[in-house]
Structure 1
């Protein structure tokens, strides 16, 4: 080794390591076992050749002849600290020894100049992901994904990606699911093998059942120990089989770039879960493959309904005196087309809960949310209609679309048409294409439903205000919270809501306006979704131009926030501008309500909580507790103005929902 050409790198000071001790130090990215014994200093490669045990976590041992040895902490292999050679009986190649100098008490280790970075399999695959538009990764770096993590690190350094290190993989999955629901584009989750990967599954199911694109990137044990039952070795392909539309291991002989492209295409085209499994040893294999791109691999998705279906729909509409449009979340990108059709027909528009805000409640044709989380306005028009035009709605039992009515159902997924029961006219096509292609005439004696809408809203708003008198002295009424929140948030707010009574109250009481969006765990209905979804929504506002600057407000009960509370520190770490509204009633209120409704005793739904406002402050964010309705508006306005994570803890009455 030519010492004149070495890079001398400081690894500490002599007072850092007493005589008779060893420690691990890092020079650039080289892990080194530094040792101090009998007044001597030495540096050797830190990885035992047996199973890469960390020699710097071992010990200095003296033989019967007084000679010093460094002993590996894992299996007891010994090495001469000055030569790197073993005493015999082990690997005879020994360990690399690095030149060491002490200059005025500072320890320097000499390394050869760093070679240029060699392109790896994961470099090529991560570049493929970015070419397909994957911009954000939520994850946790760990021992079985370090090669992949380094490829992501380089992409972040080149500003091709953003990375958010979370505290629980479940939060990463929910964040990525919310990102996909909001944008229609996949974000990625990064985990280790075994438990890191399995922690993703709830969020993957949330994305799958709600048709959100998402990528799972999971580490795996080395290929040589896959199968026999190595530490954290589980069959990840089988584990993800039911939840993913694409799940493949990345093997040494794989077409790595093609796998990455197929994963991205599956997530985008099928709006589903795609999963790539990265064995540890494959991640750093050299690769000369050119990164994949979406060019020539995707096409426009507009499916125009058959003209015969458009004609049949027009005929049915012209015969109806009280047509009603019910619109689902899948139609959000064509909301203006839906509103235009409603105006032409003079028809009310009610939405599923997932589509809340698609036609904002301040629109003259808006009828609010239908179903369990809905309003009396929407249920009135459902009862009185003589024709339902269902656009991108999935007919969930929670929505409660009356199957006995005459129904025109429009969906781009043919399997959704008449899925639960026959409809009068199933129409295959994109909702926007249907709205634009439809040219119906109104019934000459059609009812003036728009005037009725205004009257019904007036009745409902008066009833909501009257409910404020229902004060039991046990906390703030949910209506008071959502009435104020709806008034003070921006017109383009993105709401991420959790599961529970807080969600039902949000759906029933908060009136949307402008271009607001609502994200929720729809078909899965998973508690804990709200705050991680806020993280995902905020990340999307950093990536997608049309979302930049939009305020993110997440909402949960104390039960929901308690699922992933430590990821509030994630929001603090990355300066995420998320305002969290927490309804604290000290119990799983929805479950208590269901126990009473089912004539069960209320059992084990009470919660022992900290002060969540104080917790937020301890994490480094903004936190305020509200116990009086008169302080509520100022507290929310203050929190919304915070440039970073803020939490408003509302002490509420569990019975006033």
Structure 2
């Protein structure tokens, strides 16, 4: 057994089924070990960045360790972005990187990169193998840290060590995954009870850390008559159809979600480090519960911080608190949320058949037809807006994306990683054209492995979210920089060996969604949509009002001066607004 085979044996013992990557000289012995194994598959990607996003998608949907790999210098560097995403989403991923032979390190050899320095920020631990003797201990240390801290670690395998005889096999043992529960003190529970019993209008802001405590949080909401506002990442825990849920707050939130946490007199923040401080109250009494103490008080002032497991906290709290009888605050917000959802349904009506099309209609029909256990990967940008507003992630549906790192090009590869992990579940990718263009080479990989991912590309030939950002700060959109020259994505899908359809008329949208759902191949819906569609946050401050006003005034002046691009931009916005 060589060191590469020993490494693979340890990974298999932890349940690893796939290694996503691009091979090369330093990884050749490791890849050969995989080829000779019946328990793990090498998933050959076109680009290492897509491989690392695929590992994220696999790990985020399974909760287990996932692995990506890239060879020396250049290949290892390409892994970085997807790994940063895994780090910020708190997803356990191991990156295996090759390295030049030890005797040549430090000589500025061909493809040499000091990967330790490069990876210092993204990795909590790096197992840099120098000898076969140390390999099993530091490999297992990296895996234990990645699993138990839900983070990213790296294993560096020099080309010469990869083929050496393995040593110290007696140090290879079953690895432990912690099942410990962090319990708050009795005093903290009593302090929370006192604050809750005194409060009149209580609201809950629930984050992704509530995944294992959904029923308990719903019971708490019911007893306290407290509306539940949630983060985007928690949209598949506290979905649109769940009792007492009033939606999202933040940049892509809705009014009732925003009002819930702004108008309460006691805010209970559960397992969230919600980053947008302008959407949080800063003088309201706040209880914040989090398993990571560094999050408590990180975004707003906190009256009572509780370091502990959310499920344990709520279970112990429920029998001690008084049941509230006044539901007026809750009733107003749930009624407002119901009215908001009705408005969103009207916005997504196929009768709004202007061309280019409204993107909301596509999201509405995906919501109608996707299975109850579908996995959705959501791109960064306006595609996230339409998904959040028009898709309810109910039942066993899951939503994943780059919600903390905010990277483009997460959608397609993470959908592939999820589909590798769950071959029998529907996987939908909701993507903008700009993001898909970054990752589209690995659609060929989806075809190679016959992954039936369903990809909706909102094709408006523009980086629309960046346009909104420009307008918000008072700039006129830089139309040349924002423009995307796109291919016919349906033709591209067929050229690669998949299936696809281009949709330009509202009457064809539902048929396209059904075709994608029923397809057994990777499928692209090329949705030709309007770039003038606007979506505003639930609360707009004076700074944003002035920014948009200034931007629009400048755009009008440019139109008057003969700028044809700005005229087309304004026409599209007016067309969507008045339809």
> What is the CA deviation profile of residues 414-446 of structure 1, one whole-angstrom value per residue up to 9, with x for unaligned ones?
111112343011001111111211134346553
> What is the CA deviation profile of residues 29-74 of structure 1, one whole-angstrom value per residue up to 9, with x for unaligned ones?
xxxxxxxxxxxxxxxxxxxxxxxxxxxxxxxxxxxxxxxxxxxxxx
1:206 aligns with 2:85: yes
> What is the CA deviation profile of residues 226-258 of structure 1, one whole-angstrom value per residue up to 9, with x for unaligned ones?
110111111111111111001132122542111
The structure whose Rg is larger is: 1
Looking at structure 2, the residues matched to 443 and 262 of structure 1 have their Cα atoms a distance apart, in angstroms, of: 47
TM-score by length of 2: 0.87
Match of 1:637 in 2: 514
Match of 2:234 in 1: 355
Q: Does the 8 Å contact 2:218/2:243 carry over to 1?
A: no
Looking at structure 1, the residues matched to 440 and 175 of structure 2 have their Cα atoms a distance apart, in angstroms, of: 44
Cα pair distance change 1:132/1:199, threshold 3 Å: same
Cα pair distance change 1:597/1:451, threshold 3 Å: closer
Match of 1:646 in 2: 523
The counterpart of 2:455, out of the listed 580, 585, 591, is 580
Looking at structure 2, the residues matched to 206 and 299 of structure 1 have their Cα atoms a distance apart, in angstroms, of: 23
The counterpart of 2:367, out of the listed 454, 474, 486, is 486
Look up the SS of the partner of 1:582 in the other structure: strand
Match of 1:6 in 2: none
Shift of 1:495: 0.8
Looking at structure 2, the residues matched to 277 and 444 of structure 1 have their Cα atoms a distance apart, in angstroms, of: 57
Looking at structure 1, the residues matched to 175 and 165 of structure 2 have their Cα atoms a distance apart, in angstroms, of: 27
Shift of 1:345: 2.5
Shift of 1:383: 2.9
Q: How does 1:26-105 map to 2 (within 5 A)?
A: none
Looking at structure 1, the residues matched to 402 and 170 of structure 2 have their Cα atoms a distance apart, in angstroms, of: 34
Q: Does the 8 Å contact 1:321/1:447 carry over to 2?
A: no
Match of 1:365 in 2: 244
The structure in which a higher percent of residues are helix is 2
Match of 2:400 in 1: 519
The structure in which a higher percent of residues are strand is 1
Q: How does 1:294-313 map to 2 (within 5 A)?
A: 295=174, 297-313=176-192
Cα pair distance change 1:169/1:606, threshold 3 Å: same
Q: How does 1:502-581 map to 2 (within 5 A)?
A: 502-542=383-423, 549-581=424-456
Cα pair distance change 1:639/1:297, threshold 3 Å: closer
Match of 2:24 in 1: 142
Looking at structure 2, the residues matched to 562 and 319 of structure 1 have their Cα atoms a distance apart, in angstroms, of: 54
Looking at structure 2, the residues matched to 394 and 178 of structure 1 have their Cα atoms a distance apart, in angstroms, of: 21
The counterpart of 1:182, out of the listed 61, 65, 79, is 61
CA RMSD, Structure 1 to Structure 2 (Å):
2.0
1:191 aligns with 2:70: yes
Looking at structure 2, the residues matched to 152 and 289 of structure 1 have their Cα atoms a distance apart, in angstroms, of: 21
Look up the SS of the partner of 1:380 in the other structure: helix
1:589 aligns with 2:464: yes
Gaps of 5+ in 1: 1-118, 543-548
Match of 1:56 in 2: none
Q: Does the 8 Å contact 2:273/2:299 carry over to 1?
A: no
Shift of 1:453: 4.4
> What is the CA deviation profile of residues 101-138 of structure 1, one whole-angstrom value per residue up to 9, with x for unaligned ones?
xxxxxxxxxxxxxxxxxx11111111111112222210
Range 516-525 or range 434-443, more displaced: 434-443
Match of 1:71 in 2: none
Q: Does the 8 Å contact 1:408/1:426 carry over to 2?
A: yes
Match of 2:533 in 1: 656
Match of 1:461 in 2: 341
Match of 2:573 in 1: none
Shift of 1:468: 5.2
Match of 1:330 in 2: 209
Looking at structure 2, the residues matched to 271 and 650 of structure 1 have their Cα atoms a distance apart, in angstroms, of: 37
